Every structure is written in structure tokens, then in C-alpha cells.
């Protein structure tokens, strides 16, 4: 007997998808597109493929709703690509999708081929087994290159007429697994700023007490950055939301000194020293307010300036208050006895492009009591948790279908700029 005998078809399809080597730096997008088209045909879905950049397909499998374009659509997004592996650290072949004691081992098992297949298999249950007919169009979208920034995938796609034609009301995208007994839901991300601070001053011989040299000034300015860092770290440890949940990384701003440079010779005081910071600004900290802090820190010493190596000029979040999509998600979780933990993503996903296009996006990968193994050796997902996630989407899609479209009158309901 093989280990696929009597296996749930969703699990079999999940494992087939995991075996397509969509791994950077040369992801097999051709193989993935062929398999996704096959999955779409099996479910009677319309397929469209857009190569916004040649060789990097965006595959959209559509379940048409009875009310067509009069309602906003649901876009169920996942990325096709996966990150590289260090084969010597894996106990299983990362592209064999072996099932060992119920654990399915493969690169992409958590991040995020599980979710892409759960969307499709939920449609199988609703469409083919229950005869459900959605009112709104449901687009299952598979995008390339998320793991290398999404620049040739989602970032470009949201500027095309094909994206506009989707008429998206809500995009569901990836989240993270959670070792605790709740699904994490991400409704915003932190804004990355990389800045270089240059400190200029008097130069001279290394044996003297020269006034106004760069070193002591750099030390005092650095202290201001690092004091703010300490303050944020303390908030992470002690902060609680109004509903009693403790703060997580996405709720605070991180500031890390990552670069230091300067000097020409051991006995010469340099006229300039530079330091670089990687800063990730939480939506709880308005960007303008943080900019004012930066300005004040650098203005506190003469001859100090800064420049942006990377600037995220605006950050957008999907509000949860009064958001009918979020309420549908909450109702689904409540009916299934699953807790939700809404929070801000600590790093970046394709959702940032969607929110930038003023479309609400919620990130959820329904995995609880599961170690977070994305990008790790021996990435796996328990078959039972995979199937629980499938049931979750099967319950969620009809509830999202029932949502009364929010009106355009209150744009704050859709996207908040911070």
C-alpha cells in the first residue's frame, strides 16, 4: 500500500503542487502554470494567465458569481514561488512532499502552497459537492516572485487593466503559522526605512583634544536612536491592546544600527563618520511623527544630516473597526470555535501593494498550534492542520459572499493611511 491510498484529494493535490520546484533562483513557473490550469479545469473554473513580465505568470482561476460585476469580487491570493533550501540540513527531500507520521515535509508546505490549495479545494467542496452558487465572482490568484519582493508580480500587476477588471472588494493573502491556539490575521505591515546618518566635524591629529570632532557627536546622536529603541522594546514587553492581547512585533517600531563607517588612518581624526539604521515603523507610529523625531535627533548636533537609502513614503492599513469583511471572518472563526489574533505583520508581503491600491487585504494562513517553519529547514505542515484550514475556507467563503459591499462613501472603511 502506498501512502497516497485513501488519501484526501486535497492532500494529494497539495503534495503534487509541492513537488513542482518553484524555488528561487530559477522557479519552475511553467510547471506550476500547467498544474494550476489542470486544477482549474477539474473544478470548472475559468482560467486567465497574465505575463506582466515574460516568464512570470499570474494565474487567475475564476468561479463566476450569479451577480457578476454588480458586486465586488473576492480575490484569494497566494504566491507560487518558494525560498531556497540548504539540502544538507533537511532530513527529507524538500521537493518530494513525503508524509511522515502525518507531517507533510516540503519547501512551501507553510509558505504558502497550503493556502493556495485550500482555496481551490474549498471551491471543490462548495461547488461540486454542495452545489453552492456564489453571488460575487471569486478569483483564486497565484502570483510569482513574492519571495524576492514581488516587483515583477503583484507590484506591477496592480497597475494593469486586468487587475482593475477584477473589481476586487477584498484580497485574502498570506499570514503566518502560530504556535498558540489561534489564527493570526494581519491587517497591516510595518514601513521599512533605511537611513544613512552622516556626522561631520573638525579633523586633526589623533593625539590632541580637538573640539567638535565627529566621534563624540556620533555617539550622542546614536544614543538618541538607541534610547528610542529601548523605549520601543519596553513597549513590546509591557504593551497590551484594549482587548487585553499583548503587543507583538508589528505593534512597535524597531531601530537597529546596521552599518558604521569612516576614518582614513589610525592617527587622523576623520572629518566624517557615517552610521546606518534599519528602521521598521509600526502603523501605530504615524510616519510624519517619526520623521519629526528623526529631524530633531539629527538637528541636536551641528553638522549632522541624514539621507534615505530606502523610503516607504506612505503606509496603509486595512481597518478592522466597522469592516464587514473582518466581521465575516470573525463570525466564521467563532462558529468553528477558533480564536483569531489580529495584528500587524512584522515584515512585508504582497498585501502592501494591494493596500496601496486602496483595496482591503487581510493576511491569514490558518495554522494554529503549529511551529512557524517558513524559510526553515524541514518545513512541514500536519495533514490534519491542512485539512482544518480547508474546512475554515469552506465555511468562510459563503460568509464573505453574503457581505453587503461597503459603499465608497467612507474610504476610511477601506484603507487608512498612516
The annotated binding site for Zn(2+) is made up of: 79, 111, 147, 174, 375
- Residue of the chain from 22, 52, 62, 111 that contacts Zn ion (CB under 5 A): 111
The number of beta carbons lying within 10 Å of the beta carbon of residue 6 is 7
Q: Pick the closer one to Zn ion by CB: 111 or 155.
A: 111
Q: Active-site residue among 137, 145, 146, 189?
A: 146
d(CA 248, CA 345): 9
Count interface residues toward Zn ion (CB under 5 A): 3
| Using rule CB under 5 A, residue 383 touches Zn ion | no
d(CA 102, CA 66): 39
d(CA 163, CA 360): 14
In the complex, the smallest distance separating the C-beta of residue 374 from Zn ion, rounded to whole angstroms, is: 6
| Residue entry with cell 579633523 | 203
First to last CA, the chain: 57
Q: Pick the closer one to Zn ion by CB: 140 or 221.
A: 140
In the complex, the smallest distance separating the C-beta of residue 174 from Zn ion, rounded to whole angstroms, is: 5
Q: Contacts with Zn ion in 158-197 (CB under 5 A)?
A: 174
How far CA 307 is from CA of 227, 255, 291, 296, 303, in Å, comes to 21, 16, 12, 14, 13
d(CA 165, CA 217): 55
Q: Contacts with Zn ion in 257-276 (CB under 5 A)?
A: none
Q: Pick the closer one to Zn ion by CB: 112 or 158.
A: 112
- Residue of the chain from 10, 112, 218, 333 that contacts Zn ion (CB under 5 A): 112
3 state SS of 102: coil
Q: Pick the closer one to Zn ion by CB: 85 or 275.
A: 85
In the complex, the smallest distance separating the C-beta of residue 375 from Zn ion, rounded to whole angstroms, is: 9
> Which helix (H) or strand (E) is 122 found in, with range?
helix 113-123
> Cell numbers at residue 277, please?
539604521
DSSP state of 158: T
Q: Pick the closer one to Zn ion by CB: 96 or 347.
A: 347
146 is catalytic: yes
In the complex, the smallest distance separating the C-beta of residue 186 from Zn ion, rounded to whole angstroms, is: 12
Residue 37, exposed/middle/buried by CB under 10 A (0-12, 13-18, 19+)? middle
Select from 62-70, 106-114, 155-163, 242-250 the region that touches Zn ion (CB under 5 A).
106-114
| Using rule CB under 5 A, residue 251 touches Zn ion | no
| Using rule CB under 5 A, residue 145 touches Zn ion | no
d(CA 335, CA 297): 50
In the complex, the smallest distance separating the C-beta of residue 361 from Zn ion, rounded to whole angstroms, is: 14
| Using rule CB under 5 A, residue 33 touches Zn ion | no
Annotated catalytic sites, by residue? Answer: 81, 146
User: What is the binding site for Zn ion (CB under 5 A)?
Assistant: 111-112, 174
Amino acid at each position: 500500500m502506498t501512502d497516497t491510498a485513501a488519501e484526501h484529494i486535497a492532500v494529494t493535490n497539495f503534495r503534487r503542487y509541492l513537488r513542482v520546484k518553484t524555488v528561487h533562483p530559477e522557479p519552475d513557473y511553467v510547471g506550476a502554470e500547467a498544474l494550476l490550469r489542470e486544477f482549474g479545469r477539474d473544478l470548472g473554473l475559468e482560467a486567465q494567465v497574465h505575463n506582466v513580465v515574460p516568464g512570470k505568470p499570474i494565474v487567475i482561476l475564476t468561479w463566476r458569481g450569479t451577480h457578476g460585476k454588480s458586486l465586488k469580487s473576492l480575490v484569494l491570493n497566494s504566491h507560487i514561488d518558494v525560498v531556497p533550501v540548504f539540502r544538507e540540513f533537511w532530513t527529507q527531500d524538500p521537493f518530494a512532499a513525503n508524509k511522515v507520521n502525518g507531517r507533510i515535509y516540503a519547501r512551501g508546505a507553510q509558505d504558502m502552497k497550503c493556502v493556495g490549495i485550500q482555496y481551490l479545494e474549498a471551491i471543490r467542496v462548495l461547488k461540486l459537492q454542495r452545489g453552492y452558487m456564489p453571488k460575487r465572482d471569486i478569483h483564486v490568484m497565484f502570483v510569482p516572485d513574492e519571495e524576492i519582493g514581488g516587483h515583477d508580480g503583484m507590484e506591477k500587476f496592480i497597475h494593469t487593466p486586468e487587475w482593475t477588471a477584477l473589481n476586487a472588494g477584498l484580497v485574502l493573502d498570506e499570514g503566518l503559522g502560530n504556535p498558540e491556539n489561534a489564527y493570526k490575521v494581519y491587517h497591516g505591515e510595518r514601513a521599512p526605512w533605511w537611513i544613512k546618518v552622516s556626522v561631520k566635524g573638525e579633523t586633526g591629529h589623533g593625539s590632541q583634544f580637538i573640539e567638535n570632532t565627529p566621534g563624540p557627536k556620533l555617539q550622542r546622536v546614536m544614543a538618541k536612536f538607541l534610547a528610542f529603541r529601548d523605549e520601543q522594546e519596553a513597549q513590546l514587553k509591557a504593551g497590551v491592546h484594549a482587548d487585553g492581547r499583548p503587543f507583538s512585533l508589528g505593534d512597535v517600531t524597531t531601530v537597529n544600527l546596521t552599518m558604521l563607517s569612516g576614518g582614513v588612518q589610525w592617527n587622523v581624526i576623520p572629518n566624517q563618520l557615517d552610521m546606518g539604521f534599519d528602521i521598521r515603523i509600526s502603523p501605530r507610529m504615524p510616519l510624519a511623527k517619526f520623521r519629526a523625531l528623526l529631524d530633531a535627533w539629527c538637528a541636536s548636533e551641528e553638522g549632522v544630516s541624514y539621507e534615505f537609502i530606502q523610503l516607504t513614503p506612505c503606509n496603509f492599513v486595512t481597518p478592522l473597526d466597522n469592516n464587514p469583511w473582518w466581521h465575516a471572518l470573525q463570525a466564521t472563526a467563532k462558529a468553528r470555535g477558533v480564536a483569531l489574533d489580529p495584528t500587524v505583520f512584522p515584515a512585508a508581503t504582497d498585501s502592501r501593494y494591494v493596500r496601496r491600491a486602496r483595496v482591503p487585504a487581510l493576511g491569514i494562513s490558518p495554522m494554529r498550534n503549529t511551529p512557524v517553519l517558513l524559510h526553515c529547514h524541514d518545513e512541514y505542515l500536519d495533514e490534519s492542520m491542512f485539512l482544518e484550514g480547508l474546512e475554515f475556507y469552506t465555511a468562510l467563503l459563503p460568509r464573505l459572499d453574503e457581505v453587503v459591499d461597503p459603499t465608497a462613501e467612507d474610504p476610511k472603511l477601506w484603507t487608512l493611511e498612516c
